[in-house]
Chain A
Amino acid sequence: KAGVTQTPRYLIKTRGQQVTLSCSPISGHRSVSWYQQTPGQGLQFLFEYFSETQRNKGNFPGRFSGRQFSNSRSEMNVSTLELGDSALYLCASSLGGTGQYGYTFGSGTRLTVV
């Protein structure tokens, strides 16, 4: 059974650019969540999608957005990149609500903004 696949693994972008990250969850998992991980802030919740609908949203500016497709694959987009957006972005899939099943994480996308 394939795991959670995130692409690309590494990205270097310039301030002001935009970026799109992709996540394919485990087959059958309908919930996809995104987290930002930084040394200083730990794991910060971005948003969660369930059956193509955003079900939860964290406290991030509107520059951060996402979507989920009918096959449960998800993308997140960050526009007008800032230096502070440099982080490891983790995608996590879950069969249903995370409370009941916990997450299966992808390997992450390491974004560096220069």
Chain B
Amino acid sequence: GDSVTQMEGPVTLSEEAFLTINCTYTATGYPSLFWYVQYPGEGLQLLLKATKADDKGSNKGFEATYRKETTSFHLEKGSVQVSDSAVYFCALSGGGSNYKLTFGKGTLLTVNP
């Protein structure tokens, strides 16, 4: 079945540091890939997505590229802010009539001033 593996952290960075959160996946066919962010006490927000190989999703300074050859979708940001402190989930949707999202375990990011 489908699965997502992401670095679990926690990750602690200083403000303006470079961020990478690794995500790899296993899926049949051509999944869509997502990064969701969850701020403390809130629901999940869609951060970015990519639907086919070599697509780059981007939003709010975050980027991730759909790499089919390495089955990866790593999240990056060049300069993090304190307000980026949250839990980040990598997820995939296998498509077809299966509406399920398969999530990674989540990575807690803390950014210190």
Interaction A to B: no
**Chain B residues within 8 Å of A, Cβ to Cβ:** none
